[in-house]
Structure 1
């Protein structure tokens, strides 16, 4: 086998081949940090979709401000839907 064919099989990895919680995983530090950053960004994006979600996830009642944000969001969505129908 030539060198390029030999390394080609290592270019892709099996899905879920790395365990994020395993400290003995052979990933580089940069890859571990990148994966953690990606997970954090996904969580933050999810929280921004619903202002009530962070409090509910922790078992608390959402704050008054979060409830108002949700109400404003729903009103704006309704206004956009109404404008789209005209």
Structure 2
């Protein structure tokens, strides 16, 4: 018998490494990129009805797309009062322009005072 720790009658014990029998849970294996971030950007339409993905994968993609869009819209809403009109291709209203000017003035005043 061999003097190694591997006491198997099958195969050559010299070819076995510790990595060969290791299993990873989803997200632990560093060589596998996270789901929906593996391919190239804009390589195909995520919500394509003719795509041959399962319903659960299509649903996950739709939820991710909705969350990404919602976060982007929410962030812009909280930062720029002119953003909604500009998204729709319109000129912002006078009130939105005044709000943006007032916000800029407030930020400048706070910077001068050293608060922000």
Decide which structure has greater helix share: 1
Verify: 1:22 aligned to 2:48, yes or no.
Answer: yes
Q: Where in structure 1 are there 5+ consecutive unaligned residues? A: none
1:66 alignment counterpart: 96
Q: Where in structure 2 are there 5+ consecutive unaligned residues? A: 1-19
- Candidates 12, 18, 23, aligned match of 1:4: 23
1:38-74: CA deviations, max 9, x gaps?
Answer: 2221122123322112212322221122112102101
Q: Give the RMSD, CA atoms, in angstroms.
A: 3.2
Q: Which has the higher contact order (CA 8 A, sep 6+)?
A: 1
Verify: 1:54 aligned to 2:84, yes or no.
Answer: yes
How many residues are aligned here? 84
Once superposed, which parts of structure 1, at least 4 consecutive aligned residues long, lie more than 3 Å away?
7-13, 15-19
C-alpha separation between the residues in 1 aligned to 2:63 and 2:88?
Answer: 25
Verify: 1:43 aligned to 2:69, yes or no.
Answer: no
Deviates more, 1:22-31 or 1:44-53: 22-31
Deviation at 1:15, TM superposition (A): 4.1
- Residues 25 and 70 of structure 1: CA distance in aligned 2, closer, same or farther (over 3 Å): farther
| Structure whose CA Rg is larger | 2
Contact 2:81–2:100 (CA under 8 A) maintained in structure 1: yes
C-alpha separation between the residues in 1 aligned to 2:114 and 2:76?
Answer: 26
The normalised TM-score by structure 2 is 0.52
